[in-house]
Chain A
Amino acid sequence: MATLEINNLHARVAEEGGERILRGVDLTVNSGEIHALMGPNGSGKSTTAKVIAGHPAYEVTEGEILLHLDDEDVADVDVDLDDEDYHWELLELEPNERAALGIFLGFQYPAEIEGVTMTNFLRQALNAKADEREELFEDEDEDEESAEADADDEGYDTSPMEGPADDGEIGVAEFQEILSEKMELLDMDEKFMQRYLNAGFSGGEKKQNEVLQAAMLEPAVAVLDEIDSGLDIDRLQDVSKGINALRDEQGTGILQITHYQRILDYVEPDHVHVMLDGEVAKSGGAELAEQLEDEGYDWVREEAFADA
């Protein structure tokens, strides 16, 4: 089981005099759990999501983000976890390294990349993730001596005319098989795969695509930033089915950022958190979301101030 643990996270916009946005966020998401992160506009929900993924526009001034992993999470790589608490400090890692370890960010406004087909993109992403994992865990394992030995051993395994040896990329057939399975699950048309990544996609298609990517990359924890915005009811149901499947089929932990109770009717959260002014002001069960829907956020604010 993997655990994303955020402790006392402070962050500001990474420019001179940049606004302080996060003021001590504490949050823990275990794989297999569904968390809803709610709160009014400007409370820091999206910033939390971006900081977890490593967005360069934000600078972390205090706190830590840890990803705890166990044997199951690293079964694909050759690493021995004798450490009782095996974890990575995400703040020290590049966004792609975080992705390789199992962090996924579903964007509120996914980028449109012209000229790159979905198929090419997904294959490359899967291969990049596999390569990066090997590298991360290799470095972890390797002592200095063997690093030196490697340095002496530079050059080609094969003749330069033949290029570098095949590094075990995912085969086309295997890829297609995984893809078809995931697309069926999400009720997506195969034609999707020949289109350019998000280019000209409707709002709903983009969100479906975010969930598809999460399904393909099988992250330990997926942070979904307003995945429900701009969806009609049919699409909302498809997307919700996909999110539930992420949890049920591959044990992904979900941190779902939303303004509305609506999606929570389909994706029932185990935990609900309310952010106010850059902190998690209140946490509770599914019933908390219903209460917020009825009563708004003012009472949470009052309660939080009373506590303080």
Chain B
Amino acid sequence: MSSQDHLKDTNTEERFEFKKEEKSAFKSEKGLTEETVRVISEDKDEPEWMLERRLRALKQFQEMPMPTDWPGQPDLSEVDIDEIVPYIRPDIEARGGADSWEDLPEEIQDTFDKLGIPEAEKNALSGVGAQYESEIVYQNMQERWEEKGVIFCDMDKAVQEHEEIVKEHFMTKCVPPSDNKFAALHGAIWSGGSFVYVPENTTVDMPVQAYFRMNSEGMGQFEHTLIIAEEGSEVHYIEGCSAPKYSAFNLHSGGVEVFVGEDAHVQYSTVQNWSKNTYNLNTKRAIAEKGGRMEWISGSMGSKATMLYPSTILKGRGASDNHITIAMAGEGQDIDTGAKVYHNAPDTKSTVESKSIAKDGGRTNYRGLVHIADGAENSSTAVECDALMFDNESTSDTMPYMEINESKVDVAHEATVGKIGDEDIFYLQSRGLDDDDAKQMIVSGFIEPITEELPIEYAVELNRLVELEMEGSLG
């Protein structure tokens, strides 16, 4: 059985909506103080410089106001950091993640089994990292990649074992804590996540995947992902996320930094299916050198509110960026997502394709920025965002900002907002499809131009999630 078949046959709802009894080895107090940060750093046995960076980030977090003045932004008034448990170390023996699923406690093993991760690893992945609560619990990569010098490991382990390269790249030039309040929060209490290093001229031909699972009520997950792709290398990183639903809110505030070397190619795919009590406030950024190519593929289905704008800085001549974004908001959800691209060099190229679907009173917003710097001659950008609404209760906005400071450029922008048509539904019903199937068919057609560009293993998973959301059986 291929991996696609496996994913197709798995009951997606069963896979996400289960809770495990909370069993942890170490759990921090609720809230955020200097003491909390010191305790986390000590528990991880970190070098002094990392503690200093954490404390500096904490200070910045405390000084920065909560973002409230963005036009039409999601309501974050419920997000009270003092109510969050920022750090839970699950009860496992091996730090840095076991390399065999059997070595994990049964309830954790069972969790990832249900999510289909070990099965996918066997069939279609070069490596897998799995994070449970605040720590990576499983980490493995095929030997042939290790032999070629590829590193795929737990971020905490990277701080210890690849200290110099981490010290140089970690929240320094790509996503500094000063970027925004939640980046600062992340810098103070980050834990877990992946470190990926691909040496020059190495192509990792099967994707590596990280899966992030929050199990406990009222916790925050703050994993950090750092990807360094050296000159001429190529890698595809997939992240998946989910959590069972609780009444108290959860907070996810990840940080992602990607360094795309000269003529390197990085694809970063996310399937976000957080439970509908989760605030998903991430900062993701890539810097692409000369001729480098960055691709962001994001599917946002879950969460109560998402604010996420993956960004790419096209730093070197001829660098390019491609964003594909699919967002879906149902009852009580506010998905505010988009893309940011900075054209800082000549001959750079970007495309943004965004599709959003709002139903049952949900709200989607495309918020994007394309900046073309003075001197970035012969650059081109094309932004296309389409929104589909199911009913009059749902809303969909589009805020595509453009800052063009160079005249020799090619800029294209298209936006459509439509409501699903009653006549279209009736037409399909008259052919035998029931109301739900008819709507689902229209939605899958709406996102089709995007899904056909996606890697197959990603598209299958995404389609399953869209179907599940359409059935309205979650949350």
Which of B9, B11, B116, B429 counts the most chain A CB atoms within 10 A?
Answer: B429
Q: Which of B14, B428, B446 contacts A160 (CB 8 A)?
A: B14
* In contact, B441 and A121 (Cβ under 8 angstroms): yes
Interface residues of B in 405-447 (CB under 8 A from A): 421-424, 426-435, 437-438, 441-442, 444-447
Q: Is B10 an interface residue (CB 8 A)?
A: yes
Bound form: Cα–Cα A113–B427 in Å: 10
Q: Which of A55, A125, A129, A160 contacts B426 (CB 8 A)?
A: A55
Bound form: Cα–Cα A18–B412 in Å: 46
**Given contacts A99-B431, A113-B442, A162-B10, could you give 14 more A-B pairs where the C-beta distance is less than 8 Å?**
A99-B432, A107-B427, A110-B427, A111-B426, A125-B433, A128-B434, A128-B437, A132-B434, A160-B14, A161-B9, A161-B116, A163-B9, A164-B11, A217-B431
4 nearest CB pairs, A to B: A115-B445, A115-B448, A111-B427, A129-B432
Interface residues of B in 373-415 (CB under 8 A from A): none
Majority-rule SS of B interface residues? helix
Bound form: Cα–Cα A114–B446 in Å: 7
Distance to closest chain B CB from A251 (angstroms)? 19
Distance to closest chain A CB from B390 (angstroms)? 15
Which chain B residues border A132 with CB–CB below 8 Å?
Answer: 432, 434
Q: Which of A56, A57, A162 contacts B9 (CB 8 A)?
A: A162
In the complex, the chain A residue whose C-beta lies closest to that of B116 is: A161
In the complex, the chain B residue whose C-beta lies closest to that of A122 is: B431
Q: Is A66 an interface residue (CB 8 A)?
A: no
Number of interface residues of A (CB under 8 A): 36
* In contact, A95 and B430 (Cβ under 8 angstroms): yes
Distance to closest chain B CB from A195 (angstroms)? 12
Interface residues of A in 104-127 (CB under 8 A from B): 104-105, 107, 110-111, 113-116, 121, 124-126
Distance to closest chain A CB from B374 (angstroms)? 39
* In contact, B11 and A163 (Cβ under 8 angstroms): yes
Bound form: Cα–Cα A152–B116 in Å: 29
Q: Tally the A-B contacts, defined by beta carbons under 8 Å.
A: 99
* In contact, A128 and B14 (Cβ under 8 angstroms): no
Q: Is B449 an interface residue (CB 8 A)?
A: yes
Bound form: Cα–Cα A181–B201 in Å: 52
Chain A interface residues (CB < 8 Å from chain B): 53-57, 94-96, 98-100, 104-105, 107, 110-111, 113-116, 121, 124-126, 128-129, 132, 160-164, 196-197, 213, 217
Which chain A residues border B14 with CB–CB below 8 Å?
Answer: 160-161
Interface string of B54-86 (1 = CB under 8 A from A): 000000000000000000000000000000000
**Interface CB pairs A-B, < 8 A, 16:** A56-B422, A94-B429, A94-B434, A95-B430, A99-B432, A111-B428, A113-B442, A115-B444, A116-B448, A124-B433, A124-B441, A128-B431, A128-B437, A132-B434, A163-B9, A163-B11
In the complex, the chain A residue whose C-beta lies closest to that of B447 is: A115
Which chain A residues border B8 with CB–CB below 8 Å?
Answer: 163
* In contact, B429 and A96 (Cβ under 8 angstroms): yes
Q: A114 with B437: in contact, given A99-B431, A125-B432 (CB under 8 Å)?
A: no
Distance to closest chain A CB from B442 (angstroms)? 6
Which chain A residues border B441 with CB–CB below 8 Å?
Answer: 113, 116, 121, 124
Distance to closest chain B CB from A282 (angstroms)? 29
Distance to closest chain B CB from A237 (angstroms)? 25
Which chain B residues border A113 with CB–CB below 8 Å?
Answer: 424, 427-428, 441-442, 445
In the complex, the chain B residue whose C-beta lies closest to that of A57 is: B422
Distance to closest chain A CB from B467 (angstroms)? 12
Bound form: Cα–Cα A93–B429 in Å: 12
In the complex, the chain A residue whose C-beta lies closest to that of B424 is: A111
Which chain A residues border B434 with CB–CB below 8 Å?
Answer: 94, 96, 128, 132
In the complex, the chain B residue whose C-beta lies closest to that of A111 is: B427
Bound form: Cα–Cα A98–B426 in Å: 12
Interface string of B255-298 (1 = CB under 8 A from A): 00000000000000000000000000000000000000000000
Bound form: Cα–Cα A89–B172 in Å: 71
Bound form: Cα–Cα A162–B426 in Å: 33
Which chain B residues border A163 with CB–CB below 8 Å?
Answer: 8-11
Bound form: Cα–Cα A160–B27 in Å: 33
Which of B116, B435, B441 counts the most chain A CB atoms within 10 A?
Answer: B441
Q: Which of A95, A110, A164 contacts B429 (CB 8 A)?
A: A95
Bound form: Cα–Cα A56–B427 in Å: 11
Which of B424, B434, B442 counts the most chain A CB atoms within 10 A?
Answer: B434
In the complex, the chain B residue whose C-beta lies closest to that of A101 is: B432
Bound form: Cα–Cα A217–B428 in Å: 13
Q: A160 with B11: in contact, given A116-B445, A116-B448, A121-B441 (CB under 8 Å)?
A: yes
Which chain A residues border B423 with CB–CB below 8 Å?
Answer: 111
* In contact, B442 and A100 (Cβ under 8 angstroms): no
Bound form: Cα–Cα A293–B429 in Å: 35
* In contact, B445 and A114 (Cβ under 8 angstroms): yes
* In contact, B446 and A99 (Cβ under 8 angstroms): no
Bound form: Cα–Cα A115–B423 in Å: 17
Which chain A residues border B113 with CB–CB below 8 Å?
Answer: 161
* In contact, B432 and A217 (Cβ under 8 angstroms): yes
Bound form: Cα–Cα A160–B346 in Å: 53
In the complex, the chain B residue whose C-beta lies closest to that of A166 is: B9
Which chain B residues border A54 with CB–CB below 8 Å?
Answer: 429-430
Bound form: Cα–Cα A98–B447 in Å: 29
Distance to closest chain B CB from A24 (angstroms)? 25
Q: Which of A99, A115, A116, A126 contacts B430 (CB 8 A)?
A: A99
* In contact, B11 and A53 (Cβ under 8 angstroms): no
Which chain A residues border B424 with CB–CB below 8 Å?
Answer: 111, 113
* In contact, B10 and A125 (Cβ under 8 angstroms): no
